[in-house]
Amino acid sequence: MSQKFDVVVIGAGPGGYVAAIRAAQLGLKTACVEKWVSPEGQPTLGGTCLNVGCIPSKALLDSTHKFHDAAHDYKVHGINIENISFDVAQMQARKRQIVGQLTGGIAGLFKHNGVELLQGAGKLLAGRKVEVTAADGSVSVVEADNVIIAAGSVPVEIPPAPLTEGLIVDSSGALEFTEVPKRLGVIGAGVIGLELGSVWNRIGSEVIVIEAMDSFLGAVDQQIAKEAKKIMTKQGLDIRLSARVTGTEIDSKAGTVTVIYQDANGEQRETFDKLIVCVGRRPSTKNILAQDSGVTMDERGFIYVNDFCATEAPGVYAIGDVVRGPMLAHKASEEGVMVAERIAGKKAQMNYDCIPGVIYTHPEIAWVGKTEEQLKAAGEDYKVGVFPFAATGRALAANDSAGMVKMIAHAQTDRILGCHIIGPSAADLCQQIVIAMEFGSSAEDIGLTVFGHPTLSEAVHEAALAVNGHAIHMANRKKRK
């Protein structure tokens, strides 16, 4: 007789493991199916985010940013460092240590909360049964009253640049370089491409970013995107827009790859020591649904769900990258909590209008809510307040004053509609406005709030004041009232 659970979660990434832990906390007998194993063959939790995504990339970003600061920016503080060097092997070892600590921590949380780990690939069968295929090929089936599909996503591959081990790599491969490429090509100027390009550029790579779109960071407020492109170009990233890759040629003898692309001037060619392909991600839904599972997908592989992540099959839910919405770890996690609580009978829900986005370049880029372009297209009446970090004492003291805070509010009600930041600690500063928007705050509410001095968050305060022409530390464009 097969095992029976209240909840079975397929996938132990940031959506799946959070859903499993929350379900167990609520008293539900819970199992989590995960196929990921470490290079040593041990079960590994955390999915893409912890193993080859969010966490390892941030470890490399922080290491290389510290090196760049020491090499280029410490002199202004009176700190002189001679003969500075970088140890890639040590950077990679530190990254692996952090990943191991965090993935091991999830295993401990599973044990503490009573979540049973089922090692293997999960597949949903009819009647809420889940088939688990272990690494040795053995197959078992468990039953559940509720199933949560949290299988995550995988990098998109493109025919003109097929992956070639050690030479043409995806985002995962780009985290494992053992030496600094002299010339590095990046296909895709999105979040992942800019972060990975920044990592290797900071420690010596000549980086060329090739982007097919004619706009830079099209999903970001374009005032912020324009500033980001200016700053990143100054940092050394060669960003080429309207450049469509048509092919690649590998020189095995030289160990190089030549990228052929088309731009406004015709066919172009660039030769690199390494090439990273990061043109987006797609849902990892291949082979996870039996034909009679009752769950349906669209032509791109996304699972159909309602506002509460319920599929068309009773008792089956899907969360994270396999469903509509932004592919973000924090979005997946909160959907996991929502679904677990709804299974337990609670009336949980998510506010999809308040999901922040972040790009962890330096300066960071973060946003929540509507962009100015979206509001214009919708015909909504709005007002804007912008405040530069260069006018804040804390940013100047830290020699980290590039960027701005942009606040957007409804013209009549003053309710905050969006906040867009490029600058130091943008991700953390933006979270203040995520909370404010969750409670329906107005720009005036933020303006009337006391902010500590001197802090970076004063830029948020001043941007909110500027919405209504009340900024103190810069000239206002509007009359004070």
Q: What is the pTM (predicted TM-score) of this model? A: 0.96
As a whole number of angstroms, the distance between CA 370 and CA 413 comes to 16
The mean pLDDT of 328-335, rounded to a whole number, is 98
481 pLDDT exceeds 90?
A: no
Pull the structure tokens for residue 197.
């390009």
The question of whether 453 is a catalytic residue gets the answer yes
Percent of the chain with pLDDT over 70: 99
pLDDT of residue 42: 84
Residue 479 scores a pLDDT above 70: no
Q: Is residue 164 predicted with pLDDT exceeding 80?
A: yes
Mean pLDDT computed over 244-268:
97
pLDDT at residue 76, as a whole number? 95
pLDDT confidence bin for 1, thresholds 50/70/90? low
Q: Which CATH architecture has domain 4-155+282-350?
A: 3-Layer(bba) Sandwich (3.50)
Rounded to an integer, the average pLDDT of 443-462 is 98
CATH code of 356-467, in short, is 3.30.390.30
Query: Tell me, what's the pLDDT at 436?
Result: 98
Per-residue model confidence (pLDDT) at position 2: 76
Please determine, for residue 135, whether its predicted confidence score (pLDDT) is greater than 80. yes
Domain ranges of the chain: 4-155+282-350, 168-279, 356-467
8 A C-beta contact, residue 15 and residue 319: yes
pLDDT for res 39: 80
SS3 category, 162 = coil
DSSP string, 245-281: EEEEEEETTTTEEEEEEEETTEEEEEEESEEEE-S-E
Active-site entry in 330, 453, 461, 470? 453
Helix (H, G, I), strand (E, B) or coil at 131: strand
Position 227 confidence tier, pLDDT thresholds 50, 70, 90: very high
Asked whether the CA dihedral 157, 19, 370, 231 is positive or negative, the reply is negative
Mind giving me the DSSP string for 32-56? EEE--B-TTS-B--SHHHHHHSHHH
Q: DSSP letters along 414-468, please? A: -BEEEEEEEETTHHHHHHHHHHHHHTT-BHHHHHTS---SS-TTHHHHHHHHHHT
User: Which among 261, 234, 241, 239 is positioned nearest to 249, based on CA atoms?
Assistant: 261
Strands (E), 273-355: 274-277, 281-283, 316-318
pLDDT band for position 165 (50/70/90)?
confident
Confidence grade of residue 478 (pLDDT, cut at 50, 70, 90)? low
End-to-end CA distance of the chain: give it in Å, rounded: 74
Among residues 20, 42, 32, 288, the alpha carbon closest in space to that of 154 is found at 288
CATH superfamily assigned to domain 168-279: FAD/NAD(P)-binding domain (3.50.50.60)
Confidence grade of residue 38 (pLDDT, cut at 50, 70, 90): confident
Mean pLDDT of 364-386: 98
pLDDT in tens, 311-325: 999 999 999 999 999
Q: What is the mean pLDDT of residues 96-107?
A: 96
Over range 274-278, report the average pLDDT: 98
d(CA 409, CA 407): 7
Average pLDDT, the chain: 97
Q: Evaluate whether 4-155+282-350 and 168-279 have a shared fold.
A: yes
